[in-house]
């Protein structure tokens, strides 16, 4: 099944890109096969100043852009999750602004201790925190009352998310996708790439895509025990070599989920049906 991914042109660097009234993004210059054109750092104009969501990679140029372009003083720094392309610039930005950091606690990155721990259902900067583990154990989406959600790396329009154990968990990821379907939101603003309007059909297809792949993996190992590399070879059509390792991580995540469900067991270098 082909996913209906959205693309966008390479965005301008070092400028404030309008997203919605009072919401801007700066796209960090860290493009890659995993980060698309780069990490989206969002600047949200709140009554008391700017809420910054996801500082981005550890880049002096990106930090300088943020400090130069922010329309008002940065009064708080929110983290969607601890991966370095989101967390990297946090220390420099906090040093420059003195703003408190908000994030899941404890962070899987022990070096990051949020000033304000955020749990599922908490309110941060007037937004509802939705714990959405799967891509990362500490992943949070932030939902605004107007139906806009900062979906970070849980749901991105340009690509499906990598779910790489042990931080990534396929069962949690699927449950977190279902969680998004149970919410009435109308627009997602992801951590990489363009905005996603009318997100539910897309989230449903993400979920369907994973279930279909998982059944294919279960069927393959029922026929013949196999390792992750062989399963990627068999199940992924003409995959870019660069993405092969990422695909293997996703396959491993499916196998671990199947193992927990009593449907697969590791057997030396290979996996077989339970």
User: Which window, 16-24, 59-67, 82-90, 207-215, contacts Zn ion (CB under 5 A)?
Assistant: 82-90
- The answer to whether the CB of 17 falls within 8 A of the CB of 27 is yes
Q: Which is nearer to Zn ion, 35 or 70 (CB)?
A: 35
Q: Which is nearer to Zn ion, 57 or 199 (CB)?
A: 57
Q: Which is nearer to Zn ion, 56 or 227 (CB)?
A: 56
- Tell which residue, 39, 56, 48, 109, has the closest CA to residue 76: 48
User: Which window, 63-71, 83-91, 156-164, 234-242, contacts Zn ion (CB under 5 A)?
Assistant: 83-91
Angle at 89 between CA 88 and CA 92, to 5 degrees: 130
Question: 49 - beta bridge partners?
Answer: 46
54 touches Zn ion (CB under 5 A) = no
Q: Which is nearer to Zn ion, 158 or 236 (CB)?
A: 158
x/- string (CB under 5 A) for Zn ion, residues 187-206? ----x---------------
Q: Which is nearer to Zn ion, 139 or 271 (CB)?
A: 139
- The answer to whether the CB of 79 falls within 8 A of the CB of 90 is yes
153 touches Zn ion (CB under 5 A) = yes
- Residues that contact Zn ion, how many (by CB under 5 A): 3
Strand-by-strand arrangement of the 148-152 sheet: 123-124, 127-131, 140-143, 148-152, 187-190, 196-197
CB atoms within 10 A of CB 20: 14
* Min dist. Cβ of residue 81 to Zn ion (A): 8
* Min dist. Cβ of residue 215 to Zn ion (A): 28
* Min dist. Cβ of residue 148 to Zn ion (A): 19
Q: Which is nearer to Zn ion, 103 or 191 (CB)?
A: 191
* Min dist. Cβ of residue 53 to Zn ion (A): 12
248 touches Zn ion (CB under 5 A) = no
The DSSP annotation for 103-148 comes to E-SS-SSTT---SEE--TT-EETTEEEEE--SSSTT-EEEE-TTSE
* Min dist. Cβ of residue 1 to Zn ion (A): 24
* Among the listed residues 23, 27, 37, 85, the single contact to Zn ion using CB under 5 A: 85
What does each C-alpha distance from 78 to 75, 156, 219 come to in angstroms? 10, 18, 42
Q: Which of residues 12-51 bind Zn ion (CB under 5 A)?
A: none
Question: 20 - beta bridge partners?
Answer: 23
- Tell which residue, 261, 189, 184, has the closest CA to residue 43: 189
Q: Which is nearer to Zn ion, 131 or 271 (CB)?
A: 131
Q: Return the CA Rg of the chain.
A: 19
User: Which window, 15-23, 122-130, 184-192, 253-261, contacts Zn ion (CB under 5 A)?
Assistant: 184-192
Helices (H), the chain: 60-69, 84-87, 90-97, 170-181, 199-223, 228-235, 241-260
User: Which window, 85-93, 124-132, 169-177, 202-210, contacts Zn ion (CB under 5 A)?
Assistant: 85-93
By CB under 5 A, name the binding residues for Zn ion. Answer: 85, 153, 191
């Amino acid at each position: 099944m082909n996913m209906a991914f959205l693309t966008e042109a390479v965005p301008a660097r070092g400028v404030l890109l309008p997203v919605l009234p009072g919401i801007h993004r700066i796209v960090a210059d860290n493009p890659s096969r995993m980060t698309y054109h780069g990490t989206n750092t969002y600047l949200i104009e709140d009554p008391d100043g700017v809420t910054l969501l996801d500082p981005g990679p550890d880049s002096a140029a990106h930090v300088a852009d943020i400090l130069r372009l922010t329309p008002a003083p940065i009064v708080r720094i929110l983290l969607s999750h601890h991966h370095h392309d989101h967390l990297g610039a946090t220390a420099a930005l906090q040093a420059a602004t003195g703003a408190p950091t908000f994030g899941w606690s404890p962070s899987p990155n022990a070096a990051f201790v949020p000033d304000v721990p955020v749990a599922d259902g908490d309110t941060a900067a007037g937004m509802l925190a939705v714990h959405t583990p799967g891509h990362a154990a500490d992943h949070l989406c932030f939902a605004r009352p107007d139906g806009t959600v900062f979906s970070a790396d849980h749901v991105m329009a340009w690509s499906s998310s990598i779910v790489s154990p042990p931080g990534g968990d396929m069962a949690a990821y699927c449950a977190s996708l279902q969680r998004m379907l149970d919410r009435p939101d109308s627009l997602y603003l992801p951590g990489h790439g363009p905005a996603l309007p009318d997100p539910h059909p897309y989230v449903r297809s993400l979920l369907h895509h994973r279930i279909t792949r998982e059944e294919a993996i279960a069927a393959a190992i029922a026929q013949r025990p196999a390792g992750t590399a062989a399963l990627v070879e068999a199940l992924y059509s003409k995959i870019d070599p660069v993405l092969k390792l990422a695909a293997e991580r996703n396959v491993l995540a499916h196998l671990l989920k199947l193992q927990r469900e009593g449907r697969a067991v590791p057997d030396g270098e290979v996996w077989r049906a339970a």
